[in-house]
């Protein structure tokens, strides 16, 4: 029955508000996979996020669609867990109790929720 | 404010060295993390662990120093993207993980599995039968047990958990050994402490027992006496001799628990293979205590350990661990022993199979007939 300690990063509660963003879209987000064919590690821009005020946000996907959304408070918040899967990290965790391959990186208190159908960009 | 959003091909270009999961915190766990932020832990306190539930179950539990939570995977069909700030450009954000589920925490009661622990008998030999494989120190056993440290100790002494003097191996005291040491301790307190069962310290009890057993050429380890005090005593605080003294833990022996232990022992001894009238059993039970031990006895203290023949007012010992784990089969076995049961007397034998936490009467009526015989008194019969 194995066990591992969950390490907790310092200052997880006081990270900048936009240090880590959680976006929830009701439905699928389809990104054109052809662009990754040549280089799977390539990073491409798929959209823009506009924060209108403390509560309202707009997500632009490509050049044709936009989604209206809002910032929702998570109550209670969620913790972002990182599992290190490398063999070295797992061995360290098994052989030495002080080493851990699981850590809480952040506490996320807000998420941006997009529930409505996308609107066309005119 | 406008942010540029970037993504890799998350299906084919994932960071295989690490994965990310979202864990829904409970208010208790959030408070625990907040406290931890204020006060960095230096020892095992205020740490968080992930442990596997048991050998047969793939569930994972998260434990703090006081609580245990079972992790459940809550799937969803929404697109949930985790994005982080690009260090080179403050307005650029990269998707680093796409989430298909969140981990939900369900508070549960932490349990310890003692089935593989060695048994310590009177001759101080650890009996390691073929089934017993665990040869661990107490700290090692705590670290693999799927429960918090507080919950662990709450159950550990109730099971008769102890450690060996040489090597500190976690083990269980045999029932016979517990009964013997308890009997000696009670005798010693009655003689040496004028039958005062309060404000007892471990050292004091060890001294009483040493005087008694040294004459017989035997010795009882301090760890064994400690287990007996924790099992049958309630902590009453710390006794200090002067202001600089950190204090010694003191106990008051719980006469109810002691009487119950003697009752179960008597049931095993006198009613294992036969029925005995309740009147005769009570006499035999009383005769088991050390002379002048002050306690009241009542058959209701032993509910869950006997089967009663209602018509002839006699009882027999029944071990619930020997009954089937299938609820229908268990009811069959119980009705084979007696066709009519008092509701309060049958409930302890089926309670552990009520996994959906139904009301007792609703649960019983699913498998048996419930008949009212007096106001607030019901009997259970087969269908």
A91-109: per-residue pLDDT in tens?
A: 665 555 555 678 888 888 8
**pLDDT at position A20:** 78
Name every residue whose Cβ is closer than 8 Å to that of residue B339 and which is 6 or more positions away in sequence. B381, B382
Q: Which of A7-16, B199-208, B249-258 has the lowest mean pLDDT?
A: A7-16
Give the nearest partner residue to A83 out of B21, B33, B52, using CB atoms.
B21
Helix ranges (H only) for chain B are: 27-38, 138-144, 149-156, 175-192, 202-214, 222-232, 255-270, 278-288, 327-337, 343-350, 360-367
Residue of chain B with shortest Cα separation from A84: B18
pLDDT at B169 over 50: yes
Is residue B133 within 8 angstroms of chain A, CB to CB?
Answer: no
Half-sphere exposure of A112 toward its Cβ, with a 13 Å CA cutoff? 23
Which pLDDT band holds residue B52 (cuts at 50, 70, 90)? confident
Indicate the range of B10-19, B89-98, B326-335 predicted with least confidence: B10-19
Number of CB pairs, chain A paired with chain B, less than 8 A apart: 167
Would you call B5 and A46 a contact, using CB atoms and an 8 Å cutoff? yes
Span A27-47, average pLDDT: 75
Q: How high is the pLDDT of residue B45?
A: 62
Question: Which residues of chain A lie closer than 8 angstroms to B145, CB-CB?
Answer: 1
- Count structural domains, chain A: 1
Cβ proximity of B9 and A36 under 8 Å: yes
Q: Is the pLDDT score of A15 beyond 50?
A: no
Residues B140 and B70 in one domain: no
- Give percent of chain B with pLDDT exceeding 70: 89
Q: Does a structural domain hold residue B284?
A: yes
Please judge whether B81 and A33 are an interchain contact, meaning their C-beta atoms are less than 8 angstroms apart.
no
Partners of residue B19 in chain A, C-beta under 8 Å: 82-83, 85
**pLDDT computed for residue B292 by the predictor:** 87
A109 inside domain: yes
In this complex, do A48 and B23 lie within 8 Å of one another by their Cβ atoms?
no
Cβ-defined contact of B84 to A3 (cutoff 8 Å): no
What pLDDT is recorded for position A16?
A: 45
| Both structure tokens of B325 | 């784990």
Task: Answer yes or no: do B138 and B101 share one domain.
Answer: no
Note down the domain range covering B324. 271-291+304-381
Q: Is residue A73 part of a domain?
A: yes
Asked whether A1 and B54 are in contact (CB, 8 A), the reply is yes
| Range(s) of the domain holding residue A106 | 6-26+46-117
Q: Which residue of chain B is at minimal alpha-carbon distance from A9?
A: B37
Predicted pLDDT at B35: 81
The whole-chain average pLDDT of chain A stands at 78
Between positions 79 and 98 of B, the ones with CB within 8 A of A are 79-85, 93-94
Give the whole-angstrom CA distance, residue B108 versus residue B162: 25
Residues B101 and B57 occupy one common structural domain: yes
Q: Pick from A3, A22, A85: which is nearest to B80 by CB?
A: A22
Question: Do the domain assignments include residue A34?
Answer: no
- pLDDT per position as a tens digit, B347-361: 999 998 988 888 999
Interchain proximity B78–A27, CB inside 8 Å: yes
Q: According to the model, what pLDDT value does residue B344 have? A: 92
| A35 belongs to a structural domain | no
Q: How confident is the model at residue B141 (pLDDT cuts 50, 70, 90)?
A: very high
Shortest CA distance from A49: residue in chain B: B3
Q: Are A61 and A46 in contact (CB under 8 A)?
A: yes
Beta strands at B92-108 and B161-163: parallel, antiparallel or unpaired: unpaired
Does residue A122 lie within any of the structural domains?
A: no
* Residue B241 pLDDT: 61
User: CA B128 to CA B116: how far, in whole Å?
Assistant: 9
Alpha carbon separation from B355 to B148, B330, B352 (Å, rounded): 22, 15, 7
Residue B109: the pLDDT is: 86
Q: Could you tell me which of A57, A93, A32, A79 has the C-alpha nearest to residue B32? A: A79
We report the CATH number of the domain holding residue B80 as 2.60.40
B293 CB neighbour count, 10 Å cutoff: 19
Assess if residue B298 is contained within a domain: no
């Amino acid at each position: 029955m194995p066990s591992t300690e969950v390490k907790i990063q310092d200052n997880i509660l006081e990270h900048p508000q936009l240090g880590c963003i959680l976006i929830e879209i009701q439905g699928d987000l389809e990104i054109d996979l052809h662009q990754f064919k040549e280089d799977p590690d390539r990073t491409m821009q798929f959209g823009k996020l506009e924060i209108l005020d403390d509560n309202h946000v707009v997500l632009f996907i490509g050049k044709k669609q936009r989604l209206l959304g809002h910032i929702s408070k998570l109550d209670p918040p969620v913790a972002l867990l990182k599992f290190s899967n490398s063999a070295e990290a797992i061995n360290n965790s098994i052989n030495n109790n002080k080493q851990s391959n699981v850590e809480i990186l952040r506490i996320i208190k807000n998420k941006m929720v997009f529930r409505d159908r996308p609107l066309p960009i005119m | 404010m406008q942010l540029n959003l970037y993504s890799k091909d998350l299906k084919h270009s994932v960071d295989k060295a690490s994965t990310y999961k979202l864990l829904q915190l409970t208010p208790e766990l959030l408070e625990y993390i907040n406290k931890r932020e204020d006060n960095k832990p230096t020892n095992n306190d205020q740490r968080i662990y992930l442990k596997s539930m048991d050998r047969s179950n793939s569930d994972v539990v998260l434990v703090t120093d006081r609580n245990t939570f079972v992790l459940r995977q809550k799937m969803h069909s929404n697109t949930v993207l985790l994005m982080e700030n690009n260090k080179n450009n403050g307005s650029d954000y990269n998707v680093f993980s796409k989430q298909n589920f969140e981990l939900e925490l369900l508070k549960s009661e932490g349990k310890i599995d003692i089935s593989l622990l060695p048994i310590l008998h009177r001759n101080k030999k650890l009996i390691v039968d073929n089934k017993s494989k665990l040869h661990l120190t107490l700290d090692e056993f705590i670290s693999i047990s799927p429960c918090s440290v507080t919950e662990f100790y709450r159950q550990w002494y109730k099971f008769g958990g102890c450690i060996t003097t040489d090597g500190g191996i976690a083990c269980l005291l045999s029932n016979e050994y517990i009964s013997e040491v308890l009997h000696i301790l009670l005798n010693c307190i009655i003689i040496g402490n004028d039958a005062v069962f309060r404000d007892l310290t471990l050292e004091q009890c060890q001294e009483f027992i040493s005087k008694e057993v040294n004459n017989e050429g035997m010795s009882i380890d301090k760890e064994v006496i400690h287990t007996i005090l924790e099992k049958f005593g309630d902590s009453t605080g710390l006794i200090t001799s002067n202001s600089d003294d950190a204090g010694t833990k003191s106990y008051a022996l719980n006469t109810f628990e002691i009487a119950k232990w003697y009752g179960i022992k008597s049931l095993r001894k006198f009613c294992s293979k036969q029925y005995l009238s309740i009147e005769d059993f009570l006499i035999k039970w009383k005769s088991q205590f050390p002379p002048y031990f002050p306690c009241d006895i009542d058959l209701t203290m032993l509910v869950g350990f006997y089967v009663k023949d209602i018509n002839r007012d006699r009882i027999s010992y029944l071990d619930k661990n020997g009954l089937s784990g299938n609820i229908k089969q268990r009811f069959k076995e119980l009705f084979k022993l007696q066709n009519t049961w008092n509701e309060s007397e049958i409930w302890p034998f089926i309670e552990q199979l009520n996994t959906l936490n139904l009301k007792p009467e609703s649960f019983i009526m699913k498998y048996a007939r419930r008949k009212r015989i007096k106001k607030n008194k019901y009997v259970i019969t087969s269908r």
